[in-house]
């Protein structure tokens, strides 16, 4: 049978992994897709660079538009990243009637509404499974496998680099910068690693998940985003003493008030499955009204795990090239005229339980003053620990866990606590979620 010819834009970590997996599993993939699939054309920034894959038989170019405009290609795979050149290339491919597979979550989260509209107009598809949680087929699970459910909430560890850093710091006491460097060498990190560390990458992914879960347009700018760079080893230890671990979670939740989308460090019970997800592994827990809790786990980054998702999309597209286009699932699982009105909540409007660390003078009555502020604002306390003063210090950390309260009310309490004379510095606040 005539092979399907595809072009790759980018031959770095993910592009190289894609070529390797396709070459290694070519027979199995051809049996599944119904036709052999061949990479015949690929664009790179620098032809002289060493590659992780064998490029024999692939025409290489430094002009990515050459690939997009190659009339022999049935589809192109965008693996360059970012929203500049990648967007131009994808829109050009669409205008030429080509289907596109991409691993670029920034592109989908920030420009997806425009790209999907252009693709729908032209009758082509944009597949982006690799954009969220690396090798875990979470897009397919949420968009198709759970399509009978009303999705109540989802919570996930959706950045491999960040989870790798947190795990290595906690388990091996390694320095933040040292672990980040290793994540970059392993090909996990984004071109700009602040995207990983400050939660921007996770916010891109959460935007996509929320759009599929709730049938709303992609609204990246509405995601509340907080990174992991301010987490101290101290908080990791205290959380552990209380039976929690700190994870960087993306959370989308539907309540009567509206839809929450937030990315921030979160205390989760150490016994919860999400609390046990370490290293570069990712996991997403999805709660649907019919199915209850479901859990998806796997590698969140890296060459071949990501290639697994890229190629699954390519195979899906190849299967539908022969006249099945009309049955293809809409880009977010909801046709454009079915997208709902969204009522996206700001972080002040959410409710959560909280971990608070307050540095106070070690003297009588301080704990009572803090407790009375919380009591006056009707914020109930789940647990308190007061640590011994460190040698030579007169201040002690007071650790408090609260029950669920509106963030707005907690902000008032924090403001009043910080104004107390015996309290120094800012109160450290980390949201908690029991994931129930």
The answer to whether 17 is a known ligand-binding residue is no
First to last CA, the chain: 51
The answer to whether 317 is a known ligand-binding residue is no
CB of 146 to ligand NDP, least distance (A): 22
Give Cα separations from 86 to 83, 377, 420 (angstroms). 6, 50, 52
Q: Which of 98, 140, 205, 247 is catalytic?
A: 205
What CA–CA distance (Å, rounded) separates 326 from 403? 50
Q: Which is nearer to ligand HSE, 7 or 299 (CB)?
A: 299
CB 203 within 8 A of CB 223: yes
Helix 105-122 vs helix 85-95: crossing angle, to nearest 10: 20
Residue span 272-311 as binding mask against ligand HSE, x where in contact by CB under 6 A, dash where not: ----------------------------xx----------
140 is catalytic: no
Choose the one of ligand NDP, ligand HSE, none that binds residue 159, judging by a C-beta under 5 to 8 angstroms depending on kind.
Answer: ligand HSE
The answer to whether 97 is a known ligand-binding residue is no
The answer to whether 12 is a known ligand-binding residue is yes
CB 206 within 8 A of CB 250: yes
Q: Which is nearer to ligand HSE, 190 or 433 (CB)?
A: 190
Binding flag, residue 134, ligand HSE (CB under 6 A): yes
- Cβ neighbours of residue 223 under 8 Å, at least 6 residues apart? 203, 206, 207, 261, 262, 263
CB of 134 to ligand HSE, least distance (A): 5
The answer to whether 14 is a known ligand-binding residue is yes
For the segment 144-173, give every residue that binds ligand HSE (CB under 6 A): 159-161
Binding flag, residue 6, ligand HSE (CB under 6 A): no
The answer to whether 105 is a known ligand-binding residue is yes
* 3-11, 189-197, 407-415, 416-424 -> range binding ligand HSE (CB under 6 A): 189-197
Q: Which is nearer to ligand NDP, 282 or 402 (CB)?
A: 282
Contacts with ligand HSE by CB under 6 A lie at: 134, 159-161, 188-190, 196, 201, 300-301
The annotated binding site is made up of 9-16, 105, 190
* Annotated binding-site residue numbers for NADP(+): 9-16
Q: Which residues are catalytic?
A: 205
Q: Which residues belong to the annotated binding site for L-homoserine?
A: 190
As annotated, the binding site for NADPH includes 105
């Amino acid at each position: 049978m005539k092979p399907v010819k595809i072009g790759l834009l980018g031959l770095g970590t993910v592009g190289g992994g894609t070529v390797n997996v396709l070459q290694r599993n070519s027979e199995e993939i051809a049996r599944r897709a119904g036709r052999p699939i061949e990479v015949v054309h690929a664009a790179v920034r620098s032809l002289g660079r060493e590659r992780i894959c064998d490029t024999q038989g692939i025409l290489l170019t430094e002009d990515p538009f050459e690939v997009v405009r190659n009339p022999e290609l049935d589809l192109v795979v965008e693996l360059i990243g970012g929203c500049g050149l990648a967007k131009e290339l994808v829109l050009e491919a669409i205008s030429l009637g080509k289907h596109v597979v991409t691993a670029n979550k920034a592109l989908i989260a920030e420009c997806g509404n425009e790209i999907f509209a252009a693709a729908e107009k032209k009758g082509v598809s944009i597949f982006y499974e690799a954009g969220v949680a690396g090798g875990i087929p979470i897009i397919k699970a949420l968009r198709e496998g759970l399509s009978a459910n009303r999705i109540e909430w989802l919570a996930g560890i959706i950045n491999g680099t960040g989870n790798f850093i947190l795990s290595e710091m906690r388990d091996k006491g390694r320095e933040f910068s040292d672990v980040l460097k290793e994540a970059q060498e392993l090909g996990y990190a984004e071109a700009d690693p602040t995207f990983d560390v400050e939660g921007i990458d996770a916010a891109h992914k959460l935007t996509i998940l929320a759009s599929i879960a709730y049938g709303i347009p992609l609204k990246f700018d509405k995601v509340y985003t907080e990174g992991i760079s301010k987490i101290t080893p101290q908080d990791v230890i205290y959380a552990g003493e209380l039976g929690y671990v700190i994870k960087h979670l993306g959370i989308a939740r539907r309540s009567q008030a509206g839809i929450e989308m937030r990315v921030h460090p979160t205390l989760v019970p150490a016994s919860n499955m999400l609390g046990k997800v370490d290293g570069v592994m990712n996991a997403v827990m999805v709660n649907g009204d019919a199915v209850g809790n479901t859990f998806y786990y796997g590698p969140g980054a890296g060459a071949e795990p990501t290639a697994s998702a890229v190629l699954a999309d390519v195979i899906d597209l190849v299967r539908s090239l022969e006249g099945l286009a009309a049955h293809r699932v809409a880009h977010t699982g909801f046709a454009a005229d079915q997208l709902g009105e969204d009522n996206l909540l700001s972080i002040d409007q959410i409710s959560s339980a909280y971990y608070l660390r307050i540095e106070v003078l070690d003297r009588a009555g301080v704990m009572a003053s803090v407790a009375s502020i919380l009591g006056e604002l009707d914020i109930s306390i789940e647990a308190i620990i007061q640590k011994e003063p460190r040698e030579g210090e007169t201040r002690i950390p007071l650790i408090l866990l609260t029950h669920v309260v509106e963030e707005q009310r907690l902000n008032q309490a924090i403001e009043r606590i910080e104004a107390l004379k015996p309290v120094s510095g800012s109160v450290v606040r980390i949201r908690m979620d029991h994931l129930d």
